[in-house]
Amino acid sequence: MTKKNLELLFRSFEQKRIAVIGDVMLDKYIFGKVERVSPEAPVPVIDVSSQSYRLGGAANVATNLRSLGATALLFGVIGDDDDGAILASQLNKEFLSADFLVTEHTRPTTAKTRVIAQNHHIVRIDSETRKAISSATERTILALLSEHLHTLDAIIFEDYNKGVLTAPLIKKIIALAKKRDVPVTVDPKKDNFFEYKHATVFKPNLKEISDAFGRKFTNSDSDATLACQMLQKKVKAETIVLTRSEKGMTVFNGTAEHIPSMALEVADVSGAGDTVIATLTLALSAGLDVISAAKVANLAAGVVCAEVGAVAVDKRKLLSACTRYFSSVPTS
């Protein structure tokens, strides 16, 4: 791809509408100093200096899509609580709509609070339930999605096993997408791992695929190929994209192509998987073949891994990385 072609590709992202369906989360950070130990127990006392909020889970996928210029429709579930209100407010700050989030009064908003002092992670506090959403909530999500399905270029399932993506909901959404010829990409977790049958792209990591099959796959190319072959037979996805940390990723759609990692420096891998599924889906919806789309997604992971914390990919940095990479690749 030439620089001009890449620029046209990145401009075309602005015309795309992608639905993200899954577990939305609020990431809360409390920063402070430790200067004493509590007299009540042998634990540090944190003198809080500041707090901040970030969007996590499916909401981070939507943030990455928005950062790349696309319109992201975020479907998920929050609680009727302060964390839900904060999450909705954070979406607004990121120019994302909370209109497709369903409030379920019997469950808390998924929130992860990290306490950090003197640049050390002291503790993480999770407020969540892994209980499946109600059938009424399933119907509401399905109805909301159905209203907008004809406007979509792709659907992303972002599963963190927090109960939003139930087996019945997964099957109904994939069936609807197939009728409308809307591509479906999947970022799975262990529960319901094999329920995403006939997806366009299925993107696990090495641990997830090992957990699902109950066997240890090594990070060798041969094991990666075997894992992809086994998985494709099981879920019948068009393409398997297996992410492999420092080894990059393997793309399998009958044959395997191993794409080396493109991270030049790794400061933090948090949120890299969210960036990969967002970029991969967006690039596919813009017309790239799956191998080229995977390479762009791999470069996007490299960009965010150079930052601290779960951050959305910077569009200009990704375009620069793609320009450097594809200009160095010899044409056949």
Residues labelled as active-site residues: 274
Tokens of 294: 């995977």
Question: Which phi-psi region, left, alpha or beta, contains residue 181 (left: φ > 0; alpha: ψ -120 to 50)?
Answer: left
Helices 58-67 and 272-285, packing angle to 10 deg: 50
Look at the chain and count its residues: 332
Residues 6+ apart with CB under 8 A from 227: 206, 209, 210, 213, 217, 242
Q: Which two tokens stand for residue 171?
A: 């099957």
Can you read off the two tokens belonging to residue 208? 């997830």
Kindly give, in sequence order, each residue whose CB lies less than 8 Å from that of residue 331, ignoring residues fewer than 6 positions away: none
Q: Provide the token pair at 71.
A: 């319109």
Specify the DSSP element, H or E, that contains 47.
strand 44-57
Backbone Cα Rg of the chain: 20
Q: What angle do CA 140, 145, 149 make, to 5 degrees?
A: 155
Sign of the torsion formed by the C-alpha atoms of 280, 66, 140 and 77: positive
Q: Which residues have a Cβ under 8 Å from the Cβ of 235 and sit 6 or more positions away? A: 194, 196, 197, 198, 199, 202
